Amino acid sequence: MIVEKKRLSKIFRNLNDMPIAVVGDVMLDRYLWGNVERISPEAPVPVVYVERETARLGGAANVAWNIAAIGAEPLLFGIIGNDMFARILQKLLDEYKIATDYLVTDDKRPTTAKTRIIARGQQMLRIDRENIIAINRKVEDRIIGGIIDSLDKVSALVISDYGKGTISRRVLKKIIPIAREKKVFIAIDPKENHFGLYKGATVVTPNIKEAEDAVSIKIKDKAALLRAGQKLKKLTGAENILITRGSDGMSLFYTDNGVENFPTMARQVYDVTGAGDTVVGICAVIAAGGGTLREAAIISSHAAGVVVRKVGTAVANSSEIAKSIELEQVKKGVIK
């Protein structure tokens, strides 16, 4: 699937500094890189000699990073703690020129952090630090108020729901109707136990496991996929459903009940971490920038194909996406 070069350039030009609201579970992705040379004498586990540490934006912060990487301006709404990980996260946001003004600090919650231990290119262990209890009313009010105030100036609202507490029933019920009233494009990366709360979304982007769990259908063939997609539309009340299916590509269920399948654009896969963040962020910003939903699906598929070739949470910039599309055109003989 391709988008013509002139058309792609026009869409990308439209994105320059375009404000996009992103709300959800903000996370810090940490990586400890090292080598294994022996087994511990204390227990039958490998000893990892750490050689370096890195940190990247995760969750809703990764969605914002992907949006910033192609030239738009993300307004990131979320919750952080008052801790070391919050300071690392804020430093990364500053580095990528993503404003931290809309983040709410909650002294009673830790900053959500995922620490991955990687030896010789292989992930050996992940350590999660989080509090998934629902946010308190005062913090909830600040998140809701900030988003509502932003809706007059943003072109899209992206909801990144990892089920860590930021995206509550009340948050969704308050912000989605107002965003719809203001004709803001609404894209949601969902959590399966919240599917019934997404009524009014423009597009919901579950991965295949989330789709299967939400509707209790094992997607093993085309017929099951069609049943699952239609059932998800009814369950969510969303206009469109975009199911990401890993190596099988993506399937877009349109408002008019049409269905279109898009092949994967991943030529090599090193790490799928954050690919869903890329899809929902790029899909929303492309559609908000004048692209059709079909073009948004194609371009986000290419963007995801770029990021899975990188180790760890990553982004795809406009040049990388354009190059991926050009390679696809060469492959299909559209250009030589």
* 121 assigned to some structural domain: no
Residue 284 in domain: yes
* pLDDT on residue 266: 62
Is 120 a member of any domain? no
pLDDT tens per residue, range 139-154: 999 999 999 999 999 9
pLDDT for residue 271: 58
Q: Is the pLDDT of residue 269 over 70?
A: no
Strand order in the sheet with 185-189: 103-105, 73-80, 19-24, 156-160, 185-189, 203-204, 240-244, 250-253, 259-262
DSSP SS3 for 6: helix
Q: What is the residue-averaged pLDDT of the chain?
A: 92
**Cβ neighbours for 6, distance < 8 A, ≥ 6 positions apart:** none
In a domain, 10, yes or no: yes
Tell me the per-residue pLDDT of 186-237, one tens digit each, with 9 for 90 and over: 999 998 789 999 999 999 999 999 999 999 999 999 999 999 999 999 999 9
Checking if the pLDDT of 26 tops 90, the result is: yes
Residue 17 falls inside a structural domain: yes
**What is the CATH number for 149?**
3.40.1190.20
Residue 87: band (very low, low, confident or very high) from pLDDT cuts 50, 70, 90: very high
pTM above 0.95, yes or no: no
Question: Averaged over 102-114, what is the pLDDT?
Answer: 96
Give me the amino acid identity at 263. P
CA distance 262 to 240: 15
Q: Are strands 112-119 and 122-129 parallel, antiparallel or unpaired?
A: antiparallel
Range of the domain at 211: 5-28+58-111+132-331
**How many domains would you assign to the chain?**
1
Model confidence at 274, in pLDDT bands (50, 70, 90)? confident
Q: Determine, yes or no, domain membership for 229.
A: yes
For the cut 90, the answer to whether the pLDDT of residue 16 exceeds it is yes
Q: Taking residues 24-44, report their average pLDDT.
A: 95
State the burial class of residue 45 (Cβ atoms within 10 Å of its Cβ: 0-12, 13-18, 19+). Answer: exposed
Please indicate whether residue 332 or residue 270 has the higher confidence score (pLDDT).
332
Confidence of residue 330 (pLDDT cuts 50, 70, 90): confident
Query: Checking DSSP bridges between strand 103-105 and strand 19-24, what pairing results, if any?
Result: unpaired
Catalytic residues: 277
pLDDT tens-place string over residues 302-326: 999 898 888 777 888 999 999 998 8
3-class DSSP assignment, residue 207: strand
Q: What is the three-class DSSP state of 278?
A: helix
Residue 48 in domain: no
Q: For residue 179, tell me if it sits in a domain.
A: yes
Indicate if the pLDDT at residue 336 is higher than 60.
no
Region 224-251: what's the mean pLDDT?
A: 94
